[in-house]
Amino acid sequence: MERIPPKLRLRQGLAFFGRISASISHEINNVISIIGEVTGLLDDLILLSERGRPIGVEKLKTLAERIKNQVERGKAVVKQMNLFAHSVDEPAADVDLNLAVENVAALSQRFAARRKTCIEVESAPGPATLAGGPFDFREAVFLCLDVLLQVQTSERPIRISLSDSEERIEICLRGDPSDYNDEGTKQRLAYAADLAADMGGRLEAEATAEESVLKLRFPLSRR
């Protein structure tokens, strides 16, 4: 397999980090905007109350619940953002594969929603660890996911499943059919394959009339 030059790999990694960061900022901005809208409504109610109009308790409860829901949404986004950001701390650190795949899926739901679909993850039944590459692994999974999102036309979920044996773990991504012939698709898959190779793994692309299947296979390291 022809390897990707280091400068292009670095550029691709920065593009991945930037794309995820931009998506996170949009999510956080949406949370802030909704809370701002609700506090504006509260200000209006307070003004009316000062003019002698009583504030309904149920109305206040509804607004408080909306704020609470957005706070929880924001906390969930920040939690996933922190997991992602810290994946670059130690390039050679072991990877909790279940956690890493769930992290990528959570951060990619906004992209999926724009395609009118969602991402479902079926984790491995037990702990699964890959020796080295927390950020590179996430990037490889995202590139495969992005390939499937680009061709997704149905509203059925894109499914990611993890399965393991004594020596190997497989991350399988399934979506709508694709022939993988688009140049952008070929480039994404080449980058993903290069990242997988650095971690001792490989990428396999399959397609039928019913679905596209991308498989990332790695040697398993148990702790």
Residue 184 CB coordination number (10 Å): 10
Pairing label, strands 212-219, 202-207? antiparallel
Written as one string, the DSSP assignment of 24-64 is HHHHHHHHHHHHHHHHHHHHHHHHHHHTTPPPPHHHHHHHH
Tell me the per-residue pLDDT of 77-128, one tens digit each, with 9 for 90 and over. 999 999 999 999 988 899 999 999 999 999 999 999 999 999 999 998 888 8
Q: Residue 223 above 60 pLDDT?
A: no
pLDDT at position 190, please?
92
pLDDT at position 211, please?
94
Tell me the per-residue pLDDT of 85-97, one tens digit each, with 9 for 90 and over. 999 998 889 999 9
pLDDT category at 1 given cuts 50, 70, 90 is low
Q: Average pLDDT, whole number, for the chain? A: 92
User: What SS3 state is found at 199?
Assistant: coil
User: Torsion over CA of 37, 38, 40 and 46, rounded to 10 degrees?
Assistant: 170
Distance (Å, whole) CA 96 – CA 84: 12
Written as one string, the DSSP assignment of 79-148 is HHHHHHHGGGS-TTS-EEHHHHHHHHHHHHHHHHHHTT--EEEE--SS--EESS-HHHHHHHHHHHHHHH
Write the single-letter amino acid at 162. L
* pTM of structure: 0.90
Residue 129 CB coordination number (10 Å): 16
